[in-house]
């Protein structure tokens, strides 16, 4: 340089040099950003992973997508050390999941990539394959399984167990692939009895199959769908249970479709029975409010609050004195307004509506919202005419840990 100073490379120039370096290597190399997300894969790396185009790999989390579950911790630790600038020892006998269903046993070497300012910008992972373990499908001469490509079933099983609520995963053919222990406990059906079975025809009561099938197909196409409530889910013995069903796609980013559809369901059978029983005793509203061990409120036909018990005040942070006579719609989040209005219309003509999720804004020293399962029932006056409605609720489990909160019936 004329001024004797070394010119720093631009980010584009660095990317071009990295690309050229990767293409020149005969060994599999994968470039990651500082979050462990794949940004570049050379041709040898694509061949190792069984992927024909680089765009199919870019954007995937390296450890969660390609490393088998037993090796997650040690690879994540090595990657974290490399990104911190520490010298990382080679890892041997690491399992890498390929798109064909095989597992490649490899040695990994991870090196930090630094920017002009010396800060960590990502990492380069060099891979040396030592052994290939064919999947049972490939050993038998059949086509590779499409059950859960790119997502390890054992990883999903671990994630769904950690949720603490009944949950499952379906493949692109809408067959059950993962079924956690809570789902087994609620239905009496262990994984071995549902694995590979069509979710809708095997587990959904025939009165709800059409709506659930439509929702599952939407989720398979990568579309987030509203929660379904109430849905009758079959059990091994006895009557079906009523559930609120949440479905969400886990996309592979290769196309607009999902590799996996994850489902979470909340058993609302007991709550529905309590709402129905409360509706039958609607003539004794005051006794209901005094004896109920659940958050309940009452409104007139215009939607103004006429009763608000202590449990309702506790879960929302809204005192009875602050809400009495106020329009209850002023405390309900927009995502729940439509369902609440539909239920209020039914209550106005003396009918018990379906269970739905009610998001209420929290105040009184807390922030955000609280989501409740809610059942709206008619209130009758002394002349047996409808004078309003009461709403029995219970706190809804949080199902947004895998996919975003969704509203709707």
Tens digit of pLDDT for each residue in 348-385?
A: 888 877 788 888 887 644 457 888 888 888 888 778 88
H-helix or E-strand spanning residue 76: helix 72-83
Q: Which residues contact 310 (CB under 8 A, 6 or more apart)?
A: 320
Q: How far apart are the first and last CA of the chain?
A: 67
CB contact at 8 A, 50 and 98: yes
CA–CA dist 78, 76 (Å, integer) = 5
Q: Which two tokens stand for residue 37?
A: 């997300």
Q: Which residues contact 376 (CB under 8 A, 6 or more apart)?
A: 340, 343, 344, 346, 347, 352, 353, 389, 390, 391
Q: Give percent of the chain above pLDDT 90.
A: 8
User: Residue 210's Cα: distance from chain center in Å?
Assistant: 22
Peptide bond into 115 cis (omega under 30): no
CA–CA dist 333, 364 (Å, integer) = 17
Question: By three-state DSSP, how is residue 67 classified?
Answer: strand
Eight-class DSSP state of 224? -
From 308, 282, 199, select the one nearest 243 (Cα to Cα): 199
CA–CA dist 339, 18 (Å, integer) = 54
Q: In Å, what is the CA distance from 280 to each residue of 39, 275, 377?
A: 61, 9, 9
Q: Which two tokens stand for residue 328?
A: 């209850």
Superfamily classification of domain 277-395: PAS domain (3.30.450.20)
Q: In the CATH scheme, what is the code of domain 153-267?
A: 3.30.450.20
Give the number of other CB atoms < 10 A from CB of residue 38. 21
Under the phi-then-psi rule, with left for phi > 0, alpha for psi from -120 to 50, and beta for the rest, what region is 118? left
pLDDT on residue 327 = 93
CA–CA dist 196, 146 (Å, integer) = 12
Where the chain has pLDDT below 50, the residues are 1-2, 135-150, 252-256, 283, 364-366, 400-401, 404-409
pLDDT on residue 91 = 83
Please list the alpha-helical segments (H only) found in 164-297: 181-187, 191-194, 199-203, 209-220, 269-280, 285-291
Tens digit of pLDDT for each residue in 67-106?
A: 887 778 888 888 888 877 776 678 878 888 877 667 888 8
> Which residues lie across from 257 on neighbouring strands?
none
Q: Which residues contact 137 (CB under 8 A, 6 or more apart)?
A: 101, 143, 144, 145
CB contact at 8 A, 313 and 322: no
Q: Which residues contact 180 (CB under 8 A, 6 or more apart)?
A: 157, 160, 161, 163, 166, 167, 168
From 401, 403, 148, 146, select the one nearest 260 (Cα to Cα): 148
Q: Which two tokens stand for residue 307?
A: 């009763």
Q: Where are the domains of the chain?
A: 11-139, 153-267, 277-395
pLDDT on residue 280 = 58
From 328, 321, 335, select the one nearest 390 (Cα to Cα): 328
pLDDT on residue 339 = 87
CA–CA dist 311, 294 (Å, integer) = 6
Do 11-139 and 277-395 fold alike per CATH?
Answer: yes
CA–CA dist 378, 137 (Å, integer) = 58
Give the number of other CB atoms < 10 A from CB of residue 388. 22
CATH fold of 11-139, please? Beta-Lactamase (3.30.450)
pLDDT on residue 304 = 93
Contacts 24+ apart (CB under 8 A), 179-187: 183/265, 186/235, 186/241, 186/265, 186/267, 187/233, 187/234, 187/235, 187/236, 187/241
């Amino acid at each position: 340089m004329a001024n004797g100073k070394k010119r720093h490379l631009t980010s584009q120039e660095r990317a071009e040099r990295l690309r050229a370096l990767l293409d020149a290597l005969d060994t599999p190399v994968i470039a990651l950003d500082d979050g462990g997300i794949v940004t570049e894969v050379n041709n040898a790396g694509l061949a190792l992973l069984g992927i024909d185009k680089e765009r199919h790999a870019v954007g995937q989390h390296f450890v969660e997508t390609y490393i088998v579950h037993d090796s997650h911790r040690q690879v994540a630790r090595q990657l974290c050390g490399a990104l911190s600038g520490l010298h990382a020892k080679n890892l041997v006998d690491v399992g890498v999941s390929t798109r064909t269903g095989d597992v490649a046993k490899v040695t990994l070497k991870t090196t930090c990539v630094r920017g002009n300012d010396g800060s960590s910008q990502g990492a380069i992972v060099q891979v040396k394959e030592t052994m290939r373990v064919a999947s049972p499908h490939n050993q038998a001469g059949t086509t590779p399984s499409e059950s859960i490509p790119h997502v390890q079933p054992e990883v999903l099983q671990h994630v769904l167990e950690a949720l603490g609520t009944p949950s499952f995963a379906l493949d692109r053919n809408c067959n059950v692939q993962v079924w956690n222990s809570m789902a087994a406990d609620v239905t009496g059906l262990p994984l071995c009895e549902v694995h590979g079975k069509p979710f809708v025809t095997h587990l959904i009561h025939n009165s709800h199959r059409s709506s659930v099938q439509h929702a599952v197909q939407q989720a398979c196409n990568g579309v987030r769908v509203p929660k379904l409530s109430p849905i009758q889910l079959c059990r091994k013995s006895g009557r079906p249970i009523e559930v609120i069903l949440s479905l969400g796609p886990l996309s592979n980013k290769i196309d607009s479709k999902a590799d996996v559809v994850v489902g979470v369901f909340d058993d609302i059978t007991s709550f529905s029975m309590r709402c129905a029983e409360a509706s039958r005793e609607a003539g004794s509203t005051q006794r209901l409010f005094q004896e109920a061990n659940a958050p309940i409120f009452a409104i007139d036909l215009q939607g103004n609050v006429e009763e608000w018990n202590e449990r309702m005040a506790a879960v929302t942070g809204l005192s009875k004195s602050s809400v009495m006579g106020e329009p209850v719609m002023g405390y309900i989040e927009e995502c729940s307004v439509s369902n609440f209005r539909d239920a209020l219309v039914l209550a106005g003509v003396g009918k018990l509506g379906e269970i739905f999720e009610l998001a209420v804004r929290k105040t009184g020293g807390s922030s955000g919202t609280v989501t409740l399962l809610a059942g709206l029932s008619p209130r009758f006056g002394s002349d047996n005419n409808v004078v309003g409605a009461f709403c029995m609720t219970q706190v809804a489990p949080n199902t947004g840990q895998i996919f975003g909160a969704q509203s709707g019936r």
